[in-house]
Chains A and B, each alone.
Chain A
Amino acid sequence: MISRSKIVVPLRMAAQTTTLLSVVFLLLIFARPVPAQKKFSRTYAAGQNIRLQLMNRSGTVTVEGWNRSEISIMATLESPTATIVPESVGGTIVINVVRDNQGRYDVGSVNFSIRVPFSTKVDIETRIGNLIVNNINSELVRAHISSEGDITLTNIFSTAVAAENVSGNIFFDGTLEPGGYYRFSSMKGDINLRIPFGASFRMVATAPSTRSISLGAFTNSNTNYLADGRRVVGRFGDGSANLTVTNQRGSISFFRR
């Protein structure tokens, strides 16, 4: 006679095995396929007067200044069929993902991490995605997002800065150099500017829908609210720099650096 315990144990083991196999089966069915990523890496020697010009389709671009005379480009390509063909033309490093992948349907996101000398002129744009620029001391920093994405510019000491997107936040942390031009524009999102208290500039800030313009510590007797508070114009110090901020459906805030 076979005891009851001798029958129950194999049955329990069979049930456990079946459960385990079922779980594995379900995981295999419902798990999303992980696309095979591709890595790209290249380094260029950089001279004194160098410029980075990048046009991305989708993804995050991070540009960071460093104390070396070379440009390091690293990229992660979501789609293995996507290609990047950087060019070095007369002191300008040109990366154009849109042009390089014209006619391809499955390009996916391309995330860049680029390190450049501090004095590099940075001109980057993307159709969709975030743009981040740190530690740049040059004549130009331009960040343009055709549609949505955040723009973060920190430690910027440039005489010309432009940041524009349709939707997404814009954050600028840097100085306003004498005679410089600074332009920040968004349709929907928050624009936050962190600048030195002693900066000299003329300002035109416009937020027509929200009228949300916070000058913080920069409020003084030279600021005027126009058009029912939709626009603020002001002059700080000798007003040598020009600052234009426009946010169609969001807020504008100034912070002391």
Chain B
Amino acid sequence: MTCDECKGLINCLMDSELDEVQATAVRSHLSRCAGCANFSEDLAAIRDACNTEPSSELIPPNSRALWCRIHNVIENEVRTKPSENQVPRRFLRLSFGQLMSAFVCIALVSSLFTIVGIKNYSQPASTDFTSRAAATQTTFEKVLCKIGLMETPQEARGRRLQEQKAAIEYWNERVQSRRWQWDRATREAFDRNLQIIDESVNDYSLILQKDPDDELTGEMLDSVLDDKMNLLRDFSDL
């Protein structure tokens, strides 16, 4: 008996379907041939495993239903796959002019906000801007002032003056409540110097009434008001 003949009969031997003569011949070959003996052992192990596993795990509960679900999934994927030839993108429907207009608009708006942001960041204190005249404004700054995104120099100066006056009033009240404690020399020195500052404040205010765009006078008024505030603050400690 050859090995091929033996392997073809091993399954029948395990199922007890061979007659005694064939069964004896197969067993005899298996006892002599190690390869066929190994094959026989492997086959027996597979058969044992198949016999011990539950049948529900080997056989789908409803193979027809399973194949229906697989079919549906494949069909859905085929339906949702975009067809580049049949469905054009909405973006491509815009004309070149529209695209350019949109691009320019976006660039302008972003530039505007960037410039305004940088200006506000770089000029947090209004001390510089308050003293500036309208004549020194750039065209772009004038446009920003017109549309309300930026203060005009006059507005900035007015706001700054209000802040300074409020601070001066506060310190002046403190000075008035304490000056009775000062000696005569201190009182006289304080009054003399306050008068000097007030004279300058009056002079600059008059000049600005006549010429609101006088840049230097605006700057000097700002400076002397600061000086006045500092004088009051320093003497309020005494």
**Residues of chain A having any CB pair with chain B under 8 Å:** 57-58, 98, 102, 105-106, 108, 127-128, 146-148, 166-167, 187-188, 206, 208-209, 226-227, 230-231, 246, 248-249
Q: How far is the CA of A133 from the CA of B143 in the complex (A)?
A: 51
Measured as residues with beta carbon below 8 angstroms from the partner, the interface class of chain B is 20 to 34
- Given A58-B185, A187-B197, A249-B196 in contact, is the A147-B190 Cβ separation under 8 Å? yes
Q: Are A231 and B231 in contact (CB under 8 A)?
A: no
User: Is B224 in contact with A146, judged by CB distance below 8 angstroms?
Assistant: no
CB of B200 within 8 A of CB of A248, answer: yes
Tell me the B residues contacting A by CB distance below 8 Å: 181-183, 185-186, 189-190, 192-193, 196-197, 199-200, 203-204, 214-217, 220, 223-224, 227, 230-231, 234-235, 237-238
CB < 8 Å neighbour of B189 from A102, A106, A128, A188: A128
Of listed A147, A167, A226, A227, residue having the most chain B CB within 10 A: A147
Q: Is A148's CB under 8 angstroms from B193's CB?
A: yes
Q: A127-B234, A146-B235 are in contact. Are A208 and B192 (CB under 8 A)?
A: no
- Known A248-B200, A249-B200; contact A106-B216, beta-carbon cutoff 8 A: no
Is B216 a contact of A231 with CB atoms below 8 Å?
Answer: yes
Q: Check A166 against B196 for contact (C-beta < 8 Å).
A: yes
* Smallest Cβ-Cβ distance to A187: which chain B residue: B196
Give 11 A-B contacts (CB < 8 Å), ordered by A residue: A105-B181, A127-B238, A128-B186, A147-B235, A166-B227, A167-B196, A206-B216, A206-B220, A208-B217, A227-B214, A249-B199
B196 near A108: Cβ-Cβ < 8 Å: no
How far apart are the CA atoms of A206 and B181 in the complex, in Å? Answer: 37
- Contact of A208 with B216 in the complex, beta carbons under 8 Å: yes
In the complex, chain A residues whose CB is within 8 Å of the CB of B216:
206, 208, 226-227, 230-231
**Chain A residues near B181 (CB-CB < 8 A):** 105
Extra A-B contacts (19), CB below 8 Å, given A148-B189, A227-B216: A102-B237, A128-B186, A146-B230, A146-B231, A147-B189, A147-B190, A147-B231, A166-B197, A166-B231, A187-B197, A187-B224, A206-B220, A209-B203, A227-B215, A231-B216, A246-B223, A248-B200, A248-B224, A249-B199
- Please report the C-alpha to C-alpha distance between residue A167 and residue B183 in the assembled complex, in whole angstroms: 20
Given known A167-B192, A187-B197, contact A146–B215 (CB-CB < 8 A): no
